[in-house]
Amino acid sequence: MDQKIGNKFFFDMLEKFKYPNDETKWRFLRREIFEIISSKSQDSLRGQKSFLVSILDEIKQELKEDAEKQILRECSETYRELIETGYFKCQTENRQASQSRRAIEEDIIPQRERLNVMGAIFHQIDNRNYATTIAVVDQYGELVAHKDFLFLLPPKKRIQRDGEPTQVRPGEIEEQRKHDEDRRQFQEILREHTVDLIVVCADCLEAKRLKKALTEFANLNSQQDQMQDEDVRDLGDRQEAFVIWGRPEIPKLFATSHQSNKLLKAHPFILKKAICLARFEQDPMNEILNLWSPIMSENMALQLSLHPL
Protein backbone atom coordinates (compact mmCIF):
# COMPACT_ATOMS: atom_id res chain seq x y z
CA MET A 1 0.00 0.00 0.00
CA ASP A 2 1.66 3.26 -1.14
CA GLN A 3 1.58 6.68 0.57
CA LYS A 4 -1.33 8.05 -1.45
CA ILE A 5 -3.57 5.08 -0.74
CA GLY A 6 -2.59 5.20 2.92
CA ASN A 7 -3.56 8.84 3.26
CA LYS A 8 -6.87 8.25 1.54
CA PHE A 9 -7.59 5.32 3.85
CA PHE A 10 -6.72 7.43 6.91
CA PHE A 11 -9.10 10.24 5.96
CA ASP A 12 -11.89 7.79 5.09
CA MET A 13 -11.46 6.16 8.49
CA LEU A 14 -11.69 9.54 10.21
CA GLU A 15 -15.00 10.13 8.48
CA LYS A 16 -16.28 6.85 9.87
CA PHE A 17 -15.44 7.85 13.45
CA LYS A 18 -18.12 10.54 13.29
CA TYR A 19 -20.76 7.87 13.88
CA PRO A 20 -22.42 7.97 17.30
CA ASN A 21 -21.36 5.49 19.98
CA ASP A 22 -23.67 2.66 18.92
CA GLU A 23 -22.75 -1.05 18.94
CA THR A 24 -24.58 -1.87 15.71
CA LYS A 25 -22.95 0.98 13.81
CA TRP A 26 -19.55 0.05 15.15
CA ARG A 27 -19.96 -3.41 13.61
CA PHE A 28 -20.69 -1.78 10.27
CA LEU A 29 -17.67 0.44 10.77
CA ARG A 30 -15.31 -2.49 11.25
CA ARG A 31 -16.75 -4.22 8.22
CA GLU A 32 -16.36 -1.14 6.01
CA ILE A 33 -12.77 -0.62 7.17
CA PHE A 34 -11.88 -4.12 5.99
CA GLU A 35 -13.72 -3.47 2.73
CA ILE A 36 -11.66 -0.30 2.18
CA ILE A 37 -8.43 -2.18 2.90
CA SER A 38 -9.46 -4.98 0.57
CA SER A 39 -10.52 -2.68 -2.28
CA LYS A 40 -7.38 -0.52 -2.09
CA SER A 41 -5.19 -3.59 -1.99
CA GLN A 42 -6.95 -5.07 -5.01
CA ASP A 43 -6.43 -1.83 -6.94
CA SER A 44 -2.73 -1.65 -6.10
CA LEU A 45 -1.90 -5.38 -6.24
CA ARG A 46 -3.50 -6.94 -9.26
CA GLY A 47 -3.16 -10.73 -9.48
CA GLN A 48 -2.06 -11.10 -5.83
CA LYS A 49 -3.89 -11.86 -2.57
CA SER A 50 -5.79 -8.94 -1.07
CA PHE A 51 -4.77 -7.49 2.25
CA LEU A 52 -7.90 -8.88 3.92
CA VAL A 53 -7.27 -12.41 2.64
CA SER A 54 -3.66 -12.24 3.82
CA ILE A 55 -4.73 -11.19 7.30
CA LEU A 56 -7.29 -13.99 7.50
CA ASP A 57 -4.74 -16.58 6.37
CA GLU A 58 -2.26 -15.37 8.95
CA ILE A 59 -4.86 -15.46 11.72
CA LYS A 60 -5.91 -19.01 10.75
CA GLN A 61 -2.29 -20.17 10.79
CA GLU A 62 -1.68 -18.64 14.22
CA LEU A 63 -4.84 -20.20 15.64
CA LYS A 64 -3.83 -23.58 14.23
CA GLU A 65 -0.35 -23.37 15.76
CA ASP A 66 -1.72 -22.26 19.14
CA ALA A 67 -4.28 -25.11 19.13
CA GLU A 68 -1.60 -27.69 18.29
CA LYS A 69 0.67 -26.44 21.09
CA GLN A 70 -2.21 -26.53 23.58
CA ILE A 71 -3.13 -30.12 22.62
CA LEU A 72 0.51 -31.18 22.90
CA ARG A 73 0.73 -29.64 26.38
CA GLU A 74 -2.44 -31.42 27.52
CA CYS A 75 -1.32 -34.75 26.04
CA SER A 76 2.07 -34.43 27.75
CA GLU A 77 0.41 -33.66 31.07
CA THR A 78 -1.98 -36.61 30.71
CA TYR A 79 0.87 -38.99 29.85
CA ARG A 80 2.95 -37.71 32.77
CA GLU A 81 0.04 -38.30 35.17
CA LEU A 82 -0.44 -41.77 33.69
CA ILE A 83 3.24 -42.62 34.21
CA GLU A 84 3.13 -41.31 37.79
CA THR A 85 0.05 -43.37 38.70
CA GLY A 86 0.74 -45.17 41.95
CA TYR A 87 0.03 -48.80 42.75
CA PHE A 88 -3.03 -49.75 44.78
CA LYS A 89 -2.59 -49.25 48.52
CA CYS A 90 -4.75 -50.63 51.29
CA GLN A 91 -5.47 -48.61 54.42
CA THR A 92 -3.44 -51.00 56.55
CA GLU A 93 -0.27 -50.10 54.65
CA ASN A 94 -0.93 -46.37 55.02
CA ARG A 95 -1.53 -46.78 58.77
CA GLN A 96 1.69 -48.74 59.25
CA ALA A 97 3.70 -46.17 57.28
CA SER A 98 2.36 -43.31 59.41
CA GLN A 99 3.17 -45.10 62.67
CA SER A 100 6.75 -45.89 61.72
CA ARG A 101 9.15 -42.96 62.33
CA ARG A 102 12.51 -44.66 62.41
CA ALA A 103 15.13 -42.91 60.30
CA ILE A 104 16.47 -45.99 58.57
CA GLU A 105 16.71 -47.01 54.95
CA GLU A 106 13.37 -48.85 55.00
CA ASP A 107 11.60 -45.63 55.99
CA ILE A 108 13.27 -43.60 53.24
CA ILE A 109 12.45 -46.20 50.56
CA PRO A 110 9.86 -48.45 52.23
CA GLN A 111 9.22 -51.96 50.98
CA ARG A 112 5.72 -51.72 49.55
CA GLU A 113 3.07 -54.27 50.34
CA ARG A 114 2.43 -56.61 47.42
CA LEU A 115 -1.11 -57.80 46.79
CA ASN A 116 -2.68 -60.77 45.09
CA VAL A 117 -4.96 -59.24 42.46
CA MET A 118 -7.80 -60.62 40.37
CA GLY A 119 -8.85 -59.08 37.04
CA ALA A 120 -12.47 -59.63 35.96
CA ILE A 121 -13.88 -58.89 32.49
CA PHE A 122 -17.46 -59.29 31.32
CA HIS A 123 -17.62 -59.99 27.58
CA GLN A 124 -19.84 -61.44 24.87
CA ILE A 125 -18.98 -64.84 23.42
CA ASP A 126 -21.78 -65.13 20.84
CA ASN A 127 -25.09 -63.52 19.89
CA ARG A 128 -26.93 -64.65 23.03
CA ASN A 129 -24.36 -65.72 25.62
CA TYR A 130 -22.02 -63.72 27.84
CA ALA A 131 -19.15 -64.82 30.06
CA THR A 132 -17.00 -63.48 32.88
CA THR A 133 -13.27 -64.17 32.58
CA ILE A 134 -11.12 -63.86 35.69
CA ALA A 135 -7.35 -64.01 36.05
CA VAL A 136 -5.52 -64.15 39.39
CA VAL A 137 -1.90 -62.98 39.60
CA ASP A 138 0.29 -63.45 42.63
CA GLN A 139 2.34 -60.81 44.43
CA TYR A 140 4.93 -60.72 41.62
CA GLY A 141 2.52 -60.65 38.67
CA GLU A 142 2.65 -64.35 37.78
CA LEU A 143 -0.59 -65.96 36.62
CA VAL A 144 -1.72 -68.54 39.18
CA ALA A 145 -5.37 -69.14 38.23
CA HIS A 146 -7.90 -68.26 35.57
CA LYS A 147 -11.43 -69.37 34.75
CA ASP A 148 -14.43 -68.50 32.57
CA PHE A 149 -17.85 -68.26 34.26
CA LEU A 150 -21.07 -68.34 32.25
CA PHE A 151 -23.49 -67.80 35.15
CA LEU A 152 -21.55 -65.69 37.62
CA LEU A 153 -24.11 -62.88 37.43
CA PRO A 154 -27.39 -63.58 39.22
CA PRO A 155 -30.21 -64.41 36.77
CA LYS A 156 -32.67 -61.62 36.02
CA LYS A 157 -36.04 -62.20 37.61
CA ARG A 158 -39.38 -61.22 36.14
CA ILE A 159 -40.95 -58.17 37.79
CA GLN A 160 -44.28 -59.06 39.39
CA ARG A 161 -47.13 -56.57 39.21
CA ASP A 162 -49.52 -55.91 42.09
CA GLY A 163 -51.97 -58.76 42.49
CA GLU A 164 -50.28 -60.91 39.87
CA PRO A 165 -49.46 -64.48 40.96
CA THR A 166 -45.81 -65.44 41.21
CA GLN A 167 -44.60 -67.05 38.03
CA VAL A 168 -41.35 -68.89 37.44
CA ARG A 169 -39.69 -68.19 34.11
CA PRO A 170 -38.82 -71.31 32.10
CA GLY A 171 -35.25 -72.33 32.90
CA GLU A 172 -34.97 -69.95 35.86
CA ILE A 173 -34.43 -72.73 38.41
CA GLU A 174 -31.63 -74.26 36.33
CA GLU A 175 -29.96 -70.86 35.83
CA GLN A 176 -30.13 -70.23 39.58
CA ARG A 177 -28.50 -73.60 40.27
CA LYS A 178 -25.67 -72.87 37.82
CA HIS A 179 -25.27 -69.40 39.30
CA ASP A 180 -24.91 -70.83 42.81
CA GLU A 181 -22.28 -73.27 41.53
CA ASP A 182 -20.28 -70.51 39.81
CA ARG A 183 -20.48 -68.36 42.92
CA ARG A 184 -19.17 -71.23 45.06
CA GLN A 185 -16.24 -71.81 42.68
CA PHE A 186 -15.48 -68.09 42.59
CA GLN A 187 -15.33 -67.86 46.38
CA GLU A 188 -13.09 -70.95 46.49
CA ILE A 189 -10.62 -69.17 44.19
CA LEU A 190 -10.69 -66.13 46.49
CA ARG A 191 -9.88 -68.24 49.55
CA GLU A 192 -7.35 -70.51 47.85
CA HIS A 193 -5.20 -67.68 46.45
CA THR A 194 -5.91 -65.10 49.19
CA VAL A 195 -7.04 -62.45 46.73
CA ASP A 196 -6.63 -58.95 48.19
CA LEU A 197 -8.06 -56.91 45.33
CA ILE A 198 -10.58 -57.47 42.51
CA VAL A 199 -10.41 -55.17 39.48
CA VAL A 200 -13.48 -55.01 37.23
CA CYS A 201 -12.94 -53.78 33.69
CA ALA A 202 -15.18 -50.75 33.08
CA ASP A 203 -15.87 -51.30 29.39
CA CYS A 204 -19.63 -52.00 29.26
CA LEU A 205 -22.85 -51.26 31.13
CA GLU A 206 -23.18 -54.85 32.36
CA ALA A 207 -19.92 -54.33 34.23
CA LYS A 208 -21.96 -52.43 36.84
CA ARG A 209 -23.91 -55.59 37.62
CA LEU A 210 -20.67 -57.57 37.70
CA LYS A 211 -19.02 -55.18 40.17
CA LYS A 212 -22.07 -55.25 42.43
CA ALA A 213 -22.19 -59.06 42.38
CA LEU A 214 -18.45 -59.50 43.02
CA THR A 215 -18.63 -57.03 45.90
CA GLU A 216 -21.35 -59.12 47.51
CA PHE A 217 -19.40 -62.35 46.93
CA ALA A 218 -16.17 -60.89 48.33
CA ASN A 219 -17.84 -59.44 51.42
CA LEU A 220 -19.66 -62.69 52.07
CA ASN A 221 -16.37 -64.55 51.70
CA SER A 222 -14.66 -62.13 54.14
CA GLN A 223 -17.43 -62.54 56.70
CA GLN A 224 -17.10 -66.32 56.53
CA ASP A 225 -13.34 -66.13 57.01
CA GLN A 226 -13.80 -63.75 59.94
CA MET A 227 -16.27 -66.11 61.57
CA GLN A 228 -13.83 -69.02 61.25
CA ASP A 229 -10.68 -67.24 62.42
CA GLU A 230 -10.79 -63.58 63.45
CA ASP A 231 -7.03 -63.38 64.02
CA VAL A 232 -5.95 -64.36 60.54
CA ARG A 233 -6.51 -61.01 58.83
CA ASP A 234 -7.72 -57.52 59.70
CA LEU A 235 -10.84 -57.24 57.55
CA GLY A 236 -12.08 -53.95 58.97
CA ASP A 237 -10.66 -51.95 56.00
CA ARG A 238 -11.69 -54.42 53.30
CA GLN A 239 -15.24 -53.53 52.34
CA GLU A 240 -16.08 -51.56 49.18
CA ALA A 241 -12.38 -50.94 48.38
CA PHE A 242 -12.01 -54.68 47.93
CA VAL A 243 -13.60 -54.38 44.46
CA ILE A 244 -12.60 -51.43 42.28
CA TRP A 245 -12.95 -50.25 38.68
CA GLY A 246 -10.12 -50.80 36.21
CA ARG A 247 -9.16 -48.76 33.17
CA PRO A 248 -9.77 -50.85 30.01
CA GLU A 249 -7.57 -48.94 27.53
CA ILE A 250 -4.12 -50.15 28.54
CA PRO A 251 -5.11 -53.86 28.92
CA LYS A 252 -6.73 -53.77 25.47
CA LEU A 253 -3.62 -52.27 23.85
CA PHE A 254 -1.36 -54.75 25.64
CA ALA A 255 -3.47 -57.72 24.54
CA THR A 256 -3.07 -56.67 20.88
CA SER A 257 0.65 -55.84 21.12
CA HIS A 258 3.61 -57.89 19.97
CA GLN A 259 4.90 -57.85 23.54
CA SER A 260 1.90 -59.86 24.74
CA ASN A 261 2.50 -62.40 21.97
CA LYS A 262 6.00 -62.91 23.34
CA LEU A 263 5.12 -63.04 27.04
CA LEU A 264 1.68 -64.69 26.90
CA LYS A 265 1.74 -66.50 23.59
CA ALA A 266 -0.42 -69.46 24.63
CA HIS A 267 -3.24 -67.40 26.17
CA PRO A 268 -6.30 -65.99 24.36
CA PHE A 269 -6.94 -62.28 23.89
CA ILE A 270 -9.47 -61.86 26.69
CA LEU A 271 -7.20 -63.61 29.21
CA LYS A 272 -4.26 -61.38 28.26
CA LYS A 273 -6.51 -58.40 28.88
CA ALA A 274 -7.55 -59.70 32.32
CA ILE A 275 -3.93 -60.36 33.32
CA CYS A 276 -2.83 -56.85 32.35
CA LEU A 277 -5.87 -55.42 34.15
CA ALA A 278 -4.71 -57.05 37.39
CA ARG A 279 -1.00 -56.25 36.91
CA PHE A 280 -1.75 -52.58 36.28
CA GLU A 281 -2.89 -52.18 39.90
CA GLN A 282 0.36 -53.78 41.11
CA ASP A 283 2.77 -51.75 38.96
CA PRO A 284 1.16 -49.22 36.57
CA MET A 285 4.43 -47.91 35.12
CA ASN A 286 5.59 -51.38 34.14
CA GLU A 287 2.38 -52.08 32.18
CA ILE A 288 2.59 -48.73 30.39
CA LEU A 289 6.21 -49.29 29.42
CA ASN A 290 5.29 -52.75 28.12
CA LEU A 291 3.40 -50.95 25.35
CA TRP A 292 6.58 -49.27 24.09
CA SER A 293 8.57 -50.69 21.18
CA PRO A 294 11.44 -49.22 19.14
CA ILE A 295 9.67 -50.48 16.01
CA MET A 296 7.12 -47.85 15.01
CA SER A 297 4.50 -50.31 13.72
CA GLU A 298 4.63 -52.26 17.01
CA ASN A 299 4.65 -49.27 19.36
CA MET A 300 1.24 -49.43 21.08
CA ALA A 301 2.14 -46.53 23.37
CA LEU A 302 1.39 -44.22 20.45
CA GLN A 303 -2.18 -45.56 20.41
CA LEU A 304 -3.01 -44.22 23.88
CA SER A 305 -5.96 -41.84 23.88
CA LEU A 306 -4.47 -38.83 25.65
CA HIS A 307 -6.87 -36.20 24.32
CA PRO A 308 -10.45 -36.23 22.93
CA LEU A 309 -9.22 -34.66 19.69
Contact in structure between 19 and 25 (CB atoms under 8 Å): yes
pLDDT digits (tens, 9 = 90+) for 200-257: 999 988 999 999 999 988 886 555 554 444 433 343 444 444 789 999 999 999 999 9
Backbone angles phi, psi at 63, to 5 degrees: -65, -40
The answer to the question of residue 31 being in a domain is yes
Query: What's the mean pLDDT when you consider all of the chain?
Result: 77
pTM of the complete model: 0.70
Cα–Cα distance for residue pair 132/122, rounded to 1 Å: 4
Indicate the burial class of 57 (C-beta count within 10 angstroms; 0-12, 13-18, 19 or more): exposed
Q: Provide the CATH number for the domain around residue 272.
A: 3.30.420.140
Radius of gyration of the chain (CA): 32
- Same structural domain, 288 and 152: yes
Of residues 32 and 129, the one with the higher pLDDT is: 129
- Same structural domain, 59 and 148: no
- Same structural domain, 70 and 144: no
- Same structural domain, 76 and 118: no
Query: How many distinct structural domains can be found in the chain?
Result: 2
At residue 307 the predicted structure's pLDDT band, cuts being 50, 70 and 90, is confident
- Same structural domain, 62 and 120: no
- Same structural domain, 148 and 234: yes
pLDDT digits (tens, 9 = 90+) for 53-76: 677 788 889 999 999 999 999 999
The answer to the question of residue 106 being in a domain is no
The answer to the question of residue 92 being in a domain is no
- Same structural domain, 140 and 239: yes
- Same structural domain, 64 and 189: no
Cα–Cα distance for residue pair 206/212, rounded to 1 Å: 10
How far, CA to CA in Å, does 143 sit from each of 137, 259, 275, 289? 4, 16, 7, 19
The answer to the question of residue 270 being in a domain is yes
- Same structural domain, 22 and 146: no
**If DSSP states are collapsed to H, E and C, what string results for 239-263?**
CHHHEEEECCHHHHHHHCCHHHHHH
The answer to the question of residue 262 being in a domain is yes
Provide the domain limits for residue 22: 3-81
- Same structural domain, 224 and 139: yes
**In 61-116, beta strands by DSSP E:** none
- Same structural domain, 225 and 120: yes
